[in-house]
Chains A and B, each alone.
Chain A
Amino acid sequence: MERHLDEELSKLKTNLLKMATLVEEAIHKSIDALKKRDKDLANKVIEEDQRIDELEIEIEEEIIELLALFQPMAIDLRFITTGMHINAELERIADLTVNISQRVLEVADQPLLKPLIDIPKLASQAKTMVHNSIDSFVKRDEDMAKKVILSDNESNKLRTLIIKELINDYMVKDGTTAPRAVPLLLVARDLERICDHASAIAEDVIYMIQAKMVKHHRERLQKE
Protein backbone atom coordinates (compact mmCIF):
# COMPACT_ATOMS: atom_id res chain seq x y z
CA MET A 1 0.00 0.00 0.00
CA GLU A 2 1.49 3.35 -1.07
CA ARG A 3 1.15 5.69 1.88
CA HIS A 4 1.11 9.47 2.04
CA LEU A 5 4.18 9.11 4.26
CA ASP A 6 6.03 7.30 1.41
CA GLU A 7 5.64 10.39 -0.78
CA GLU A 8 7.04 12.56 1.99
CA LEU A 9 9.95 10.18 2.61
CA SER A 10 10.75 10.20 -1.07
CA LYS A 11 10.83 14.03 -1.02
CA LEU A 12 13.16 13.92 1.98
CA LYS A 13 15.48 11.53 0.18
CA THR A 14 15.57 13.75 -2.90
CA ASN A 15 16.46 16.77 -0.77
CA LEU A 16 19.20 14.88 1.03
CA LEU A 17 20.65 13.84 -2.33
CA LYS A 18 20.53 17.43 -3.50
CA MET A 19 22.41 18.41 -0.33
CA ALA A 20 24.95 15.60 -0.86
CA THR A 21 25.57 16.68 -4.46
CA LEU A 22 26.23 20.28 -3.41
CA VAL A 23 28.59 19.09 -0.67
CA GLU A 24 30.51 16.74 -2.97
CA GLU A 25 30.90 19.61 -5.42
CA ALA A 26 32.19 21.85 -2.63
CA ILE A 27 34.87 19.28 -1.67
CA HIS A 28 35.91 18.98 -5.30
CA LYS A 29 36.03 22.73 -5.89
CA SER A 30 37.92 23.56 -2.70
CA ILE A 31 40.68 21.07 -3.53
CA ASP A 32 40.74 22.19 -7.14
CA ALA A 33 41.13 25.76 -5.90
CA LEU A 34 44.08 24.65 -3.75
CA LYS A 35 45.75 22.80 -6.61
CA LYS A 36 45.32 25.73 -9.01
CA ARG A 37 45.70 28.38 -6.30
CA ASP A 38 42.49 29.82 -7.70
CA LYS A 39 41.15 32.52 -5.38
CA ASP A 40 37.96 33.01 -7.39
CA LEU A 41 37.05 29.35 -7.08
CA ALA A 42 37.83 29.42 -3.34
CA ASN A 43 35.58 32.45 -2.92
CA LYS A 44 32.87 30.68 -4.86
CA VAL A 45 32.96 27.75 -2.41
CA ILE A 46 32.65 30.19 0.50
CA GLU A 47 29.71 31.98 -1.14
CA GLU A 48 27.91 28.79 -2.10
CA ASP A 49 28.00 27.55 1.48
CA GLN A 50 25.04 29.79 2.20
CA ARG A 51 22.87 27.72 -0.13
CA ILE A 52 23.94 24.56 1.74
CA ASP A 53 23.10 26.19 5.10
CA GLU A 54 19.66 27.13 3.81
CA LEU A 55 19.05 23.64 2.49
CA GLU A 56 20.12 22.18 5.82
CA ILE A 57 17.48 24.23 7.63
CA GLU A 58 14.88 23.36 4.99
CA ILE A 59 15.55 19.63 5.46
CA GLU A 60 15.58 19.91 9.23
CA GLU A 61 12.20 21.63 9.21
CA GLU A 62 10.88 18.99 6.85
CA ILE A 63 12.05 16.26 9.26
CA ILE A 64 10.53 17.94 12.31
CA GLU A 65 7.25 18.20 10.43
CA LEU A 66 7.39 14.51 9.47
CA LEU A 67 8.00 13.50 13.08
CA ALA A 68 5.19 15.69 14.37
CA LEU A 69 2.59 14.84 11.74
CA PHE A 70 3.24 11.17 11.04
CA GLN A 71 4.72 9.91 14.31
CA PRO A 72 6.69 7.33 12.34
CA MET A 73 7.61 3.92 13.68
CA ALA A 74 10.21 1.21 13.01
CA ILE A 75 12.02 1.53 9.64
CA ASP A 76 10.28 4.86 8.88
CA LEU A 77 11.51 6.25 12.20
CA ARG A 78 15.03 4.96 11.60
CA PHE A 79 15.08 6.36 8.06
CA ILE A 80 13.97 9.80 9.25
CA THR A 81 16.35 10.03 12.21
CA THR A 82 19.19 8.84 9.98
CA GLY A 83 18.22 11.53 7.48
CA MET A 84 18.39 14.10 10.25
CA HIS A 85 21.93 13.02 11.19
CA ILE A 86 23.12 12.85 7.57
CA ASN A 87 21.80 16.35 7.01
CA ALA A 88 23.85 17.70 9.92
CA GLU A 89 26.97 15.75 8.93
CA LEU A 90 26.77 17.07 5.35
CA GLU A 91 26.45 20.62 6.55
CA ARG A 92 29.57 20.21 8.71
CA ILE A 93 31.46 18.78 5.74
CA ALA A 94 30.47 21.88 3.78
CA ASP A 95 31.82 24.06 6.59
CA LEU A 96 35.14 22.21 6.35
CA THR A 97 35.30 22.97 2.60
CA VAL A 98 34.87 26.63 3.57
CA ASN A 99 37.82 26.27 5.96
CA ILE A 100 39.90 24.72 3.17
CA SER A 101 38.93 27.54 0.80
CA GLN A 102 39.99 30.12 3.39
CA ARG A 103 43.39 28.40 3.60
CA VAL A 104 43.57 28.62 -0.21
CA LEU A 105 43.11 32.39 0.04
CA GLU A 106 46.04 32.50 2.49
CA VAL A 107 48.47 30.57 0.30
CA ALA A 108 47.28 31.53 -3.19
CA ASP A 109 49.63 34.49 -3.60
CA GLN A 110 52.72 32.63 -2.42
CA PRO A 111 54.69 29.97 -4.22
CA LEU A 112 53.65 26.46 -3.21
CA LEU A 113 55.80 24.97 -0.46
CA LYS A 114 56.00 21.62 -2.21
CA PRO A 115 54.25 19.79 -5.02
CA LEU A 116 50.87 18.58 -3.77
CA ILE A 117 50.78 14.78 -3.84
CA ASP A 118 49.41 13.40 -0.59
CA ILE A 119 46.85 16.17 -0.01
CA PRO A 120 45.05 15.46 -3.32
CA LYS A 121 45.26 11.76 -2.42
CA LEU A 122 43.57 12.45 0.93
CA ALA A 123 41.05 14.71 -0.82
CA SER A 124 40.23 11.97 -3.27
CA GLN A 125 39.74 9.55 -0.39
CA ALA A 126 37.46 12.04 1.38
CA LYS A 127 35.38 12.48 -1.78
CA THR A 128 35.07 8.72 -2.26
CA MET A 129 34.09 8.17 1.37
CA VAL A 130 31.41 10.87 1.28
CA HIS A 131 30.10 9.59 -2.05
CA ASN A 132 29.99 5.97 -0.88
CA SER A 133 28.41 6.80 2.46
CA ILE A 134 25.56 8.55 0.66
CA ASP A 135 25.36 5.75 -1.88
CA SER A 136 25.06 3.21 0.97
CA PHE A 137 22.16 5.28 2.33
CA VAL A 138 20.39 5.39 -1.01
CA LYS A 139 20.92 1.71 -1.77
CA ARG A 140 20.52 0.63 1.86
CA ASP A 141 23.79 -1.24 1.38
CA GLU A 142 25.26 -2.33 4.70
CA ASP A 143 28.48 -3.76 3.21
CA MET A 144 29.25 -0.50 1.46
CA ALA A 145 28.65 1.42 4.71
CA LYS A 146 31.01 -0.93 6.56
CA LYS A 147 33.73 -0.40 3.94
CA VAL A 148 33.43 3.36 4.38
CA ILE A 149 33.87 3.05 8.14
CA LEU A 150 36.82 0.68 7.88
CA SER A 151 38.59 2.87 5.29
CA ASP A 152 38.72 5.71 7.81
CA ASN A 153 41.94 4.28 9.27
CA GLU A 154 43.76 4.96 6.02
CA SER A 155 42.71 8.59 6.01
CA ASN A 156 43.99 8.97 9.58
CA LYS A 157 47.34 7.50 8.55
CA LEU A 158 47.58 9.74 5.49
CA ARG A 159 46.80 12.86 7.51
CA THR A 160 49.46 11.96 10.10
CA LEU A 161 51.96 11.35 7.32
CA ILE A 162 51.23 14.74 5.71
CA ILE A 163 51.44 16.62 9.01
CA LYS A 164 54.68 14.90 10.06
CA GLU A 165 56.25 15.65 6.70
CA LEU A 166 55.26 19.33 6.84
CA ILE A 167 56.60 19.71 10.37
CA ASN A 168 59.80 17.62 10.14
CA ASP A 169 60.87 18.31 6.56
CA TYR A 170 59.94 21.98 6.43
CA MET A 171 58.96 23.80 9.61
CA VAL A 172 61.64 22.27 11.85
CA LYS A 173 64.36 22.75 9.27
CA ASP A 174 63.34 26.24 8.22
CA GLY A 175 60.97 28.21 10.45
CA THR A 176 60.24 30.73 7.67
CA THR A 177 58.26 28.04 5.81
CA ALA A 178 55.62 28.06 8.59
CA PRO A 179 53.24 30.58 6.94
CA ARG A 180 53.07 28.32 3.89
CA ALA A 181 53.19 24.98 5.77
CA VAL A 182 50.55 25.67 8.44
CA PRO A 183 47.66 26.23 5.99
CA LEU A 184 48.51 22.92 4.27
CA LEU A 185 48.62 21.23 7.64
CA LEU A 186 45.18 22.60 8.45
CA VAL A 187 43.85 21.46 5.07
CA ALA A 188 45.05 17.93 5.84
CA ARG A 189 43.30 18.06 9.20
CA ASP A 190 40.07 19.33 7.60
CA LEU A 191 40.13 16.64 4.92
CA GLU A 192 40.55 13.96 7.55
CA ARG A 193 37.60 15.42 9.43
CA ILE A 194 35.53 15.14 6.27
CA CYS A 195 36.43 11.44 6.28
CA ASP A 196 35.25 11.24 9.91
CA HIS A 197 31.90 12.76 8.97
CA ALA A 198 31.55 10.29 6.09
CA SER A 199 32.18 7.46 8.57
CA ALA A 200 29.55 8.90 10.90
CA ILE A 201 27.06 8.90 8.00
CA ALA A 202 27.93 5.26 7.29
CA GLU A 203 27.41 4.40 10.98
CA ASP A 204 23.96 5.96 10.82
CA VAL A 205 23.20 3.98 7.67
CA ILE A 206 24.01 0.76 9.52
CA TYR A 207 21.67 1.86 12.30
CA MET A 208 18.99 2.54 9.72
CA ILE A 209 19.36 -0.89 8.11
CA GLN A 210 20.06 -3.07 11.14
CA ALA A 211 18.92 -0.94 14.09
CA LYS A 212 22.40 -1.70 15.44
CA MET A 213 24.52 1.07 16.97
CA VAL A 214 28.09 0.87 15.78
CA LYS A 215 28.83 4.48 16.69
CA HIS A 216 31.75 4.52 19.16
CA HIS A 217 31.91 0.71 18.82
CA ARG A 218 33.77 0.05 15.61
CA GLU A 219 35.06 -3.22 17.05
CA ARG A 220 31.52 -4.52 16.48
CA LEU A 221 32.14 -4.18 12.75
CA GLN A 222 35.51 -5.87 12.70
CA LYS A 223 34.20 -8.91 14.57
CA GLU A 224 31.88 -9.77 11.72
Chain B
Amino acid sequence: MNVLLKDEELKSTEFTENNIKVCVEDFNFYYDTVQALKEINLKIRENTVVGIIGPSGCGKSTFLRCFNRMNDTISNIRYEGNIAIDGNNIFDKDLDVVDLRKNVGMVFQKSNPFPKSIFENVAYGLKINGIKDKGFITERVEKSLKDSALWEEVKDRLHKSAFALSGGQQQRLCIARALAIEPEVLLLDEPASALDPIATAKIEELIHELKKKYTIVIVTHNMQQAARVSDYTAFFMLGELIEFDVTNKIFTNPSNKITEDYVTGRFG
Protein backbone atom coordinates (compact mmCIF):
# COMPACT_ATOMS: atom_id res chain seq x y z
CA MET B 1 0.00 0.00 0.00
CA ASN B 2 1.85 3.03 -1.22
CA VAL B 3 -0.70 5.71 -0.54
CA LEU B 4 -1.25 8.00 2.39
CA LEU B 5 -4.24 7.23 4.50
CA LYS B 6 -7.05 9.70 4.30
CA ASP B 7 -8.10 11.46 7.48
CA GLU B 8 -11.31 9.47 7.78
CA GLU B 9 -9.33 6.24 7.62
CA LEU B 10 -7.17 7.36 10.48
CA LYS B 11 -9.98 7.84 12.91
CA SER B 12 -9.70 4.60 14.79
CA THR B 13 -7.19 2.20 16.23
CA GLU B 14 -9.39 -0.73 15.21
CA PHE B 15 -7.28 -2.14 12.40
CA THR B 16 -8.04 -4.94 10.02
CA GLU B 17 -5.70 -7.92 10.08
CA ASN B 18 -4.28 -7.22 6.64
CA ASN B 19 -2.96 -3.71 7.31
CA ILE B 20 -1.15 -4.39 10.56
CA LYS B 21 2.59 -4.14 10.15
CA VAL B 22 3.71 -4.58 13.74
CA CYS B 23 1.83 -6.32 16.52
CA VAL B 24 3.00 -6.16 20.13
CA GLU B 25 1.31 -8.56 22.54
CA ASP B 26 1.62 -8.78 26.33
CA PHE B 27 5.16 -7.55 26.09
CA ASN B 28 7.33 -7.18 29.21
CA PHE B 29 10.97 -6.16 29.25
CA TYR B 30 13.48 -6.32 32.10
CA TYR B 31 16.95 -4.87 32.63
CA ASP B 32 18.14 -7.47 35.11
CA THR B 33 15.57 -7.16 37.93
CA VAL B 34 14.16 -3.83 36.82
CA GLN B 35 11.04 -4.05 34.72
CA ALA B 36 11.27 -1.37 32.02
CA LEU B 37 8.15 -2.26 30.03
CA LYS B 38 4.93 -3.65 31.45
CA GLU B 39 2.30 -5.61 29.56
CA ILE B 40 2.48 -3.60 26.36
CA ASN B 41 -0.17 -4.29 23.73
CA LEU B 42 -0.07 -2.24 20.57
CA LYS B 43 -0.74 -2.60 16.87
CA ILE B 44 0.97 -0.47 14.25
CA ARG B 45 -0.65 0.03 10.93
CA GLU B 46 1.28 -0.19 7.68
CA ASN B 47 2.42 3.12 6.12
CA THR B 48 1.66 5.18 9.16
CA VAL B 49 3.82 7.11 11.59
CA VAL B 50 3.54 6.25 15.27
CA GLY B 51 4.92 8.81 17.70
CA ILE B 52 6.04 7.61 21.10
CA ILE B 53 5.97 10.23 23.82
CA GLY B 54 6.49 10.19 27.57
CA PRO B 55 8.73 11.57 30.29
CA SER B 56 12.40 10.57 30.51
CA GLY B 57 12.87 7.03 31.72
CA CYS B 58 9.36 5.93 30.76
CA GLY B 59 10.67 3.17 28.51
CA LYS B 60 10.03 4.70 25.11
CA SER B 61 13.57 4.21 23.74
CA THR B 62 13.72 0.71 25.25
CA PHE B 63 10.48 -0.05 23.46
CA LEU B 64 11.78 1.30 20.15
CA ARG B 65 14.98 -0.73 20.46
CA CYS B 66 12.94 -3.91 20.88
CA PHE B 67 11.69 -3.77 17.30
CA ASN B 68 15.12 -4.56 15.82
CA ARG B 69 16.39 -6.32 18.94
CA MET B 70 19.01 -3.67 19.58
CA ASN B 71 18.61 -4.38 23.28
CA ASP B 72 20.11 -7.83 22.70
CA THR B 73 23.53 -6.21 22.89
CA ILE B 74 22.92 -5.36 26.57
CA SER B 75 23.69 -8.05 29.13
CA ASN B 76 21.12 -9.35 31.62
CA ILE B 77 18.08 -8.29 29.67
CA ARG B 78 14.98 -10.44 29.50
CA TYR B 79 11.64 -10.20 27.78
CA GLU B 80 8.27 -11.89 27.76
CA GLY B 81 5.51 -11.72 25.20
CA ASN B 82 5.59 -11.23 21.46
CA ILE B 83 6.42 -8.65 18.86
CA ALA B 84 5.46 -9.67 15.34
CA ILE B 85 6.36 -7.88 12.13
CA ASP B 86 4.21 -8.99 9.21
CA GLY B 87 2.99 -11.79 11.42
CA ASN B 88 6.46 -13.17 12.15
CA ASN B 89 7.63 -13.21 15.76
CA ILE B 90 10.92 -11.30 15.90
CA PHE B 91 12.05 -13.36 18.91
CA ASP B 92 11.70 -16.62 17.03
CA LYS B 93 14.79 -18.81 17.56
CA ASP B 94 15.17 -19.43 13.84
CA LEU B 95 15.10 -15.75 12.99
CA ASP B 96 18.37 -14.19 11.80
CA VAL B 97 18.83 -10.94 13.74
CA VAL B 98 20.88 -9.48 10.89
CA ASP B 99 17.96 -10.03 8.53
CA LEU B 100 15.65 -8.43 11.07
CA ARG B 101 17.85 -5.33 11.28
CA LYS B 102 17.94 -5.09 7.49
CA ASN B 103 14.18 -5.03 7.54
CA VAL B 104 13.93 -2.62 10.47
CA GLY B 105 16.19 0.39 9.95
CA MET B 106 17.13 2.72 12.76
CA VAL B 107 18.28 6.32 13.05
CA PHE B 108 19.56 7.71 16.34
CA GLN B 109 19.42 11.02 18.15
CA LYS B 110 22.98 11.90 17.31
CA SER B 111 23.92 11.49 13.68
CA ASN B 112 26.64 8.86 13.35
CA PRO B 113 28.07 8.85 9.84
CA PHE B 114 31.01 6.54 9.26
CA PRO B 115 34.39 8.21 8.64
CA LYS B 116 33.94 7.65 4.95
CA SER B 117 32.65 9.53 1.95
CA ILE B 118 28.98 10.40 1.54
CA PHE B 119 28.70 7.75 -1.17
CA GLU B 120 30.43 5.06 0.90
CA ASN B 121 28.22 5.76 3.90
CA VAL B 122 25.10 5.01 1.91
CA ALA B 123 26.68 2.12 0.00
CA TYR B 124 28.03 0.51 3.18
CA GLY B 125 24.99 -1.60 4.02
CA LEU B 126 24.80 -2.92 0.47
CA LYS B 127 28.50 -3.80 0.34
CA ILE B 128 28.56 -5.68 3.64
CA ASN B 129 25.56 -7.58 2.36
CA GLY B 130 27.74 -8.86 -0.47
CA ILE B 131 26.41 -6.71 -3.27
CA LYS B 132 29.21 -6.00 -5.75
CA ASP B 133 27.35 -4.72 -8.81
CA LYS B 134 28.65 -1.15 -9.06
CA GLY B 135 25.84 0.03 -11.31
CA PHE B 136 23.27 -1.28 -8.86
CA ILE B 137 25.04 0.29 -5.89
CA THR B 138 25.33 3.69 -7.62
CA GLU B 139 21.68 3.58 -8.53
CA ARG B 140 20.60 2.61 -5.02
CA VAL B 141 22.78 5.32 -3.41
CA GLU B 142 21.21 7.95 -5.62
CA LYS B 143 17.71 6.66 -4.91
CA SER B 144 18.31 6.60 -1.14
CA LEU B 145 19.76 10.10 -1.15
CA LYS B 146 16.78 11.31 -3.17
CA ASP B 147 14.35 9.58 -0.79
CA SER B 148 16.05 11.22 2.15
CA ALA B 149 15.82 14.63 0.45
CA LEU B 150 19.60 15.06 0.44
CA TRP B 151 20.49 14.36 -3.19
CA GLU B 152 20.27 17.93 -4.47
CA GLU B 153 22.58 19.13 -1.70
CA VAL B 154 25.29 16.48 -2.13
CA LYS B 155 25.16 15.20 -5.71
CA ASP B 156 28.28 17.19 -6.68
CA ARG B 157 30.36 16.03 -3.73
CA LEU B 158 29.45 12.40 -3.21
CA HIS B 159 33.05 11.41 -2.63
CA LYS B 160 33.75 14.09 -0.02
CA SER B 161 33.82 13.12 3.65
CA ALA B 162 30.45 12.74 5.34
CA PHE B 163 31.86 14.81 8.22
CA ALA B 164 31.86 17.88 5.97
CA LEU B 165 28.06 17.89 6.06
CA SER B 166 26.02 19.95 8.52
CA GLY B 167 24.29 18.25 11.46
CA GLY B 168 20.95 18.19 9.67
CA GLN B 169 22.51 16.84 6.50
CA GLN B 170 24.40 14.17 8.47
CA GLN B 171 21.13 13.05 10.01
CA ARG B 172 19.49 12.80 6.60
CA LEU B 173 22.57 10.88 5.42
CA CYS B 174 21.97 8.40 8.25
CA ILE B 175 18.37 8.08 7.09
CA ALA B 176 19.64 7.49 3.52
CA ARG B 177 22.00 4.83 4.86
CA ALA B 178 19.11 3.13 6.59
CA LEU B 179 16.95 3.34 3.46
CA ALA B 180 19.63 1.90 1.14
CA ILE B 181 18.96 -1.65 2.25
CA GLU B 182 15.23 -1.11 1.74
CA PRO B 183 13.81 -1.75 5.19
CA GLU B 184 10.06 -1.90 5.70
CA VAL B 185 10.03 -0.36 9.14
CA LEU B 186 12.01 2.70 10.13
CA LEU B 187 12.77 3.49 13.77
CA LEU B 188 13.70 7.06 14.61
CA ASP B 189 15.00 7.79 18.10
CA GLU B 190 14.69 11.55 18.60
CA PRO B 191 16.04 12.16 15.12
CA ALA B 192 15.73 15.94 15.26
CA SER B 193 16.48 16.76 18.88
CA ALA B 194 19.99 17.99 18.12
CA LEU B 195 18.99 19.96 15.04
CA ASP B 196 18.06 23.59 14.46
CA PRO B 197 14.45 24.45 13.49
CA ILE B 198 15.13 24.50 9.74
CA ALA B 199 16.89 21.11 9.76
CA THR B 200 14.12 19.80 12.05
CA ALA B 201 11.46 20.96 9.60
CA LYS B 202 13.28 19.14 6.79
CA ILE B 203 13.39 15.91 8.78
CA GLU B 204 9.69 16.27 9.58
CA GLU B 205 8.83 16.85 5.92
CA LEU B 206 10.93 13.83 5.08
CA ILE B 207 9.04 11.65 7.58
CA HIS B 208 5.81 12.75 5.95
CA GLU B 209 7.13 11.64 2.55
CA LEU B 210 8.71 8.42 3.81
CA LYS B 211 5.53 7.04 5.28
CA LYS B 212 4.26 6.45 1.75
CA LYS B 213 6.81 3.64 1.52
CA TYR B 214 7.67 2.73 5.09
CA THR B 215 6.07 2.19 8.46
CA ILE B 216 7.70 4.60 10.89
CA VAL B 217 8.02 4.64 14.66
CA ILE B 218 9.46 7.82 16.13
CA VAL B 219 10.44 8.54 19.70
CA THR B 220 10.35 12.23 20.45
CA HIS B 221 10.54 14.52 23.43
CA ASN B 222 9.00 17.28 21.44
CA MET B 223 5.25 16.98 21.73
CA GLN B 224 4.56 19.48 18.98
CA GLN B 225 6.72 17.35 16.73
CA ALA B 226 4.77 14.21 17.65
CA ALA B 227 1.57 16.13 16.93
CA ARG B 228 2.88 17.30 13.56
CA VAL B 229 4.41 14.14 12.16
CA SER B 230 2.58 11.16 13.60
CA ASP B 231 -0.74 9.58 12.66
CA TYR B 232 -0.97 7.71 15.95
CA THR B 233 0.57 8.55 19.29
CA ALA B 234 1.50 6.26 22.14
CA PHE B 235 1.98 7.78 25.59
CA PHE B 236 4.27 5.85 27.93
CA MET B 237 4.76 6.41 31.62
CA LEU B 238 6.82 4.35 34.08
CA GLY B 239 7.04 1.49 31.59
CA GLU B 240 3.33 1.35 30.90
CA LEU B 241 1.49 2.24 27.75
CA ILE B 242 -1.02 4.67 29.21
CA GLU B 243 -2.81 5.62 26.04
CA PHE B 244 -2.57 4.83 22.35
CA ASP B 245 -4.82 6.63 19.94
CA VAL B 246 -5.12 8.73 16.83
CA THR B 247 -2.74 11.68 17.27
CA ASN B 248 -5.49 14.25 16.94
CA LYS B 249 -7.37 12.63 19.82
CA ILE B 250 -4.30 12.49 22.08
CA PHE B 251 -3.62 16.20 21.65
CA THR B 252 -7.15 17.57 21.66
CA ASN B 253 -9.05 15.22 23.94
CA PRO B 254 -7.02 12.45 25.52
CA SER B 255 -9.07 9.79 27.31
CA ASN B 256 -6.72 9.46 30.23
CA LYS B 257 -6.17 12.16 32.85
CA ILE B 258 -2.43 11.34 33.08
CA THR B 259 -2.05 11.79 29.32
CA GLU B 260 -3.86 15.11 29.55
CA ASP B 261 -1.61 16.28 32.39
CA TYR B 262 1.45 15.31 30.38
CA VAL B 263 0.46 16.87 27.04
CA THR B 264 -0.64 20.08 28.76
CA GLY B 265 2.70 20.26 30.55
CA ARG B 266 1.40 19.75 34.08
CA PHE B 267 4.26 17.34 34.71
CA GLY B 268 7.15 15.75 32.90
Residues of A with Cβ closer than 8 Å to B? 1, 3, 5, 71-78, 211
Partner of B253, one of A5, A71, A78: A78
Q: Which residues of chain B are near A77, meaning CB under 8 Å?
A: 251-252
Residues of B within 8 A of A1 (CB): 266-267
Q: Which residues of B contact A (CB under 8 A)?
A: 223-224, 227, 251-254, 259-260, 263-267
Residues in B whose Cβ lies below 8 Å from that of A74: 251-254, 259-260, 263-264
Do A72 and B267 contact each other (CB < 8 Å), given the known contacts A77-B252, A78-B252, A211-B252? no
Q: How far is the CA of A87 from the CA of B25 in the complex (A)?
A: 48
Residues of B within 8 A of A78 (CB): 252-253
Are A73 and B264 closer than 8 Å at their CB atoms?
yes
Cβ contacts under 8 Å, B264 to chain A: 5, 72-76
- Check A75–B260 contact: CB distance below 8 A: yes
Would A73 and B251 count as touching, CB distance under 8 A? yes
A5 contacts which of B227, B252, B259, B265 (Cβ < 8 Å)? B265
**Additional A-B contact list (14), CB under 8 Å, known A74-B263, A78-B253:** A3-B266, A71-B224, A73-B223, A73-B227, A73-B264, A74-B251, A74-B254, A74-B260, A74-B264, A75-B264, A76-B264, A77-B252, A211-B252, A211-B253
CB of A119, distance to nearest CB on chain B (Å): 41
Q: How far is the CA of A5 from the CA of B252 in the complex (A)?
A: 17
Task: Identify the closest chain A residue to B263 (Cβ).
Answer: A73
24 sample A-B contacts, Cβ–Cβ < 8 Å, listed by A number: A1-B266, A1-B267, A3-B265, A3-B266, A5-B264, A5-B265, A71-B224, A73-B223, A73-B227, A73-B251, A73-B263, A73-B264, A73-B265, A74-B251, A74-B252, A74-B253, A74-B254, A74-B259, A74-B260, A75-B260, A76-B264, A78-B252, A211-B252, A211-B253
